[in-house]
Structure 1
Amino acid sequence: MITTTTPGNYVTVNGLKLYYEVHGSGKPLLILPGAVSGVSTAFGALIPLLATNRQVIALEFQGYGHTADIPDRPLSFEQFAEDVIALLQVLNISKADILGYSTGAGVALQIALRQPALVNKLILASVTFNSSGRHPQLEALETLLTVEGLKGTPYETEYLNAAPRPQDWPKHLEKVKTFNKQPQAWSADAISNIKAPALIIAGDADIVRLEHIVELYKLLGGGSIGELSMPASQLAILPGTMHTALTTKTDLLMAMIPDFLD
């Protein structure tokens, strides 16, 4: 268990020099960012609030933010999960709560599938477990994942300021687009075998179909009448919230995350 605040660390796992930060103290809460996001763009507003009574461990996946890419290694949920599992082993953390956003939420699900003993509780923000869960208009949004489309955005600024090779920004975006196009087909039966309680969050104008979010909620134990049998998992749909704004809704998130975890 880490007991001090030590932002800005690197550890080599699976041949990757992985960047991670540690904020606060207490029970470990691992937080995993979304596509094209590093720690700052995904969780900059949320980390100081979560770290008041938790030990928040935030990381950046292969090729994201401070973590350099491995050119011949494709991006995948499965590989990201293996990297995170290896990080937890290095940090001697045998069990943690995990908050994942977008791509990071998919990675959190993969960790729960692969190493369920590592997971205490799951917070899954804007997540899919198969390709049918993606909003039908998502393909149009993906066309903006270009140097020109992201020019002047916080995502570009973060990468250019943090990446070991800022000149790789165009290559990184192409690799992310290839990753995003990969079909996703995780077994509903396998998902339903996850025992960790989950708080599932989405925006009402998210890139994930709301029907899919409800389906996932039911697979993870939700859907019963509370007066008869209160489910361990919870569901929250944030009003007036698009995908890229979800983690900035700190008032709404902090009204539910601490209660769910504690």
Structure 2
Amino acid sequence: MTYAAAPDGTRIAYQLHGAGAPLVLLAGQANNHHWWDAIRADFHPAHSTLTLDYRGTGDSDKPDTPHSTEQFAEDVIAVLDHLGIDRADAYGTSMGGRVAQHLAARHPHRVGALILGCTSPGGPHSVERSNDVRRSLAQSDPEAAQQALLELMYTPHWLTNHPGPHHTLGDPTMPAHSRRHHLTASTRHNAWDLLPHITSPTLVLHGTDDLLNPTANAPLLATRIPDAQLHLIPQGRHAYFEEFRHLASPAVLDFLHQASAL
């Protein structure tokens, strides 16, 4: 296992695969690098891929201290510094997209192209999930709650043909305190005032049928970030990047190719 040290000494596990221009892949809340297992090879013809286990997940340390999306972004910078990578493209989905917003806004010289998937600006300007969705995820029956999450991530047709295991439902090895810290970090995210300062070429991706992180957040991001492009994946739910990889991954690669020519 390979580690980088965060500014506070926390060990952050990372995984670097492939060759070519580096692309940082940032997973969703309470998930580790396995979030990307199904699709990371899609990017390897042109890019190396760098993933990490957020603090509290996977093989990284799990301190019982407050977390934030700003802190997660600083952990990414620590990994880039450790590897001697001066500049990388970044693709963040869900909470990873929130982390990527801070990464690009606070460290513009370190981020090339930026892709924000199924994410939101956070704060009072974002569109929150409905109470029905909240109740479905808060059911007392764990199996029912997990089934509800599955159906928010993927379409019923896809689930019928892909029974799992699914790597987008949370890291099962996380201690309870880490889950709480991740939830708080994601909930308290608010990058609205930072978004106009993002200078990276930006693509906003979202599934049209995403109820977990409502699709209405995508145009909010695309209009708030200067010159951002918006691409919606028809019928895509929260895990559009996996179920509709035949549409999403080429869109990302095309955008990265165009951005590299600027």
Q: TM-score, normalised by structure 2?
A: 0.79
Q: Deviations over 1:138-177 (max 9, x none)?
A: 53355269966449974599845xxxxx4x5434333333
- CA offsets, 1:78-137, max 9 Å, x none? 110111111111111111100001111111100111111111110100111123333234
What secondary structure sits across from 1:252 in the alignment?
helix
For residue 199 of structure 1, give the secondary structure of its aligned residue in structure 2. Answer: strand
Aligned partners of 2:139, 2:242: CA distance in 1, in Å? Answer: 20
Paired residue secondary structure (1:255): helix
Question: Do structure 1's residue 221 and structure 2's residue 253 form an aligned pair?
Answer: no
The gaps in structure 1 that reach 5 residues or longer are 1-7, 161-165, 223-232
Residue in 1 aligned with 2:66? 74
- Corresponding residue to 1:174 among 180, 196, 213: 180
CA apart distance, 1:250: 1.3
Higher relative contact order (CA 8 A, sep 6+): 2
The 8 Å contact of residues 88 and 94 in structure 1, kept in 2 or not, is answered as: yes
Instruction: Give the superposed CA RMSD.
Output: 2.6
Give the distance between the partners of 1:117 and 1:104, measured in 2 at CA: 19
From the superposition, tell whether residues 84 and 156 of structure 1 become closer, same or farther in structure 2 (CA, over 3 Å).
closer
Answer yes or no: is 1:185 the counterpart of 2:190.
yes
What letter corresponds to residue 235 of structure 2 in structure 1? Answer: G
**Are the counterparts in 2 of residues 145 and 173 from structure 1 also a CA contact under 8 Å?**
no
Gaps of 5+ in 2: 148-163, 258-262
- For residue 43 of structure 2, what is the amino acid of its counterpart? L
State the AA in 2 paired with 1:201: L
Task: Determine whether 1:64 maps to 2:68.
Answer: no
The residue aligned with 2:31 is 37
Change (3 A) 1:155 1:43: closer
The reply on whether 1:136 has 2:130 as its aligned counterpart is: yes
Distance 1:80 1:145 in 2: 30
| Number of residue equivalences | 235
* Letter of the structure 2 residue corresponding to residue 198 of structure 1: T
Over 3 Å counting, the alpha-carbon distance change for 1:179 and 1:157 in structure 2 is closer
Identical-pair percentage: 26
Does the 8 Å CA contact 2:119/2:218 hold for their aligned counterparts? yes
39, 42, 45: which one aligns with 1:49 = 42
TM-score, normalised relative to structure 1: 0.79
Give 3-state SS (helix, strand or coil) of 2:208's partner. Answer: strand
